[in-house]
Amino acid sequence: MAKFQKHVFICGNQRDPEAPRGSCDPTGKGELQKAFKDRLTELGLKRTIRANKSGCLDQCEHGPTVLVYPEAVWYGRVQLSDVDEIIQSHLVGGVPVARLVLPEECINTRECPHKPRVKN
Amino acid sequence: MAKFQKHVFICGNQRDPEAPRGSCDPTGKGELQKAFKDRLTELGLKRTIRANKSGCLDQCEHGPTVLVYPEAVWYGRVQLSDVDEIIQSHLVGGVPVARLVLPEECINTRECPHKPRVKN
């Protein structure tokens, strides 16, 4: 084995509760990343699929954000209850979970309707 | 623009100075990530190339570790003095900096000679 077959980055950015862009991990506990990591470990997949803590992925308005490389599939509003489905359907089965995938036109664009105030 | 053209993950993991596997960011100041981010901003590239803080990438023995997606090029022992070369040669020019690229046989393998004690 060498490079990870799938590398999952789970945003652990915590901001002030009043921050206008929101925060992917309001409690700062990293529960979503731990849930991915624990489940992958249970399934014996932790050496080929890595659930990585990440700093801000800059799609805060759509958070909690999860990003899967090498295919660059971005997920938004991911909850603990979605972890198993993402693992089974996408990371194991190769089929992204369509209902959670961020539309291309929402990523890094000023025009995204969910992103009224984009940092320059 | 949509997805990042290049997404650079710079490990910011800090461990105890005595930890046997070493630590990608012994000072915990994130200087390497900030150097990438600042230089990309100066070059007007921050909206297409993102320098992202990352949690442990699990190649600690080769750190400081930098990982570039979507092509999954792993760099080891990256210093502040290497930042400009990685940006110009690889991120802008498309040619990875060979002297810093981690060999495929060193990534996620128990056999890697630099990794005498691999976590299971």
Task: Quote ipTM for the complex.
Answer: 0.90
pLDDT surpassing 70 at residue A119: no
Rounded to whole angstroms, the Cα distance separating B9 from B67 reads: 5
* Cβ–Cβ gap A109/B1 under 8 Å: yes
Lowest mean per-residue pLDDT among A104-113, B31-40, B110-119: B110-119
| The model's pTM | 0.92
Tokens describing residue A61 = 């308005």
**pLDDT tens digits, A9-26:** 999 998 888 888 888 998
Residue partners of B38: CB distance under 8 A and separation at least 6: none
State yes or no: pLDDT of B2 exceeds 80: no
Q: Which amino acid is at A44?
A: G
Higher pLDDT, A112 or A57: A57
Percentage with pLDDT > 70 across chain B: 93
- Rounded Cα distance, A42 and A53, in Å: 18
Q: Measure the CA–CA gap between B94 and B97, rounded to whole angstroms.
A: 10
b/e map of A24-39 (b: 16 or more CB within 10 Å)? bbeeeebebbbbbbeb
pLDDT computed for residue B116 by the predictor: 62
Report residue A120's pLDDT band, with 50, 70 and 90 as the boundaries.
Answer: very low
CA distance A5 to B74: 14
> Quick one: which of B46, B16, B18 has its CA closest to B33?
B46
Cβ distance B52 to A54 less than 8 Å, yes or no, reads yes
Read off the pLDDT of residues B3-48 as tens digits, 9 standing for 90 and up: 899 999 999 998 888 888 888 998 889 999 999 999 999 999 999 9
CB distance A111 to A102 below 8 Å: no
- The shortest CB-CB distance from B108 to any of A47, A56, A108 is to A47
pLDDT at B118: 46
Q: Is there a cis peptide before residue B116, judged by omega within 30 degrees of 0?
A: no
Does residue B9 sit at the A interface (CB-CB below 8 Å)? yes
What average pLDDT score do residues B56-84 get?
Answer: 95
Q: pLDDT per residue over A25-83, tens digit each?
A: 988 899 999 999 999 999 999 999 999 999 999 998 899 999 999 999 999 999 999 99
Please tell me if residue A4 touches chain B, with a CB cutoff of 8 Å. Answer: yes
pLDDT beyond 50 at A118: no
- State the amino acid at position B87 in one-letter form: I
Cβ separation of A4 and B74 shorter than 8 Å? no
CA gap B57, A53 in Å, rounded? 9
Q: What single-letter DSSP state applies at residue B89? A: I
Rounded-to-integer distance, Cα B22 and Cα B27, Å: 12
On average, the pLDDT of chain B sits at 91
Across-strand partners of A64? none
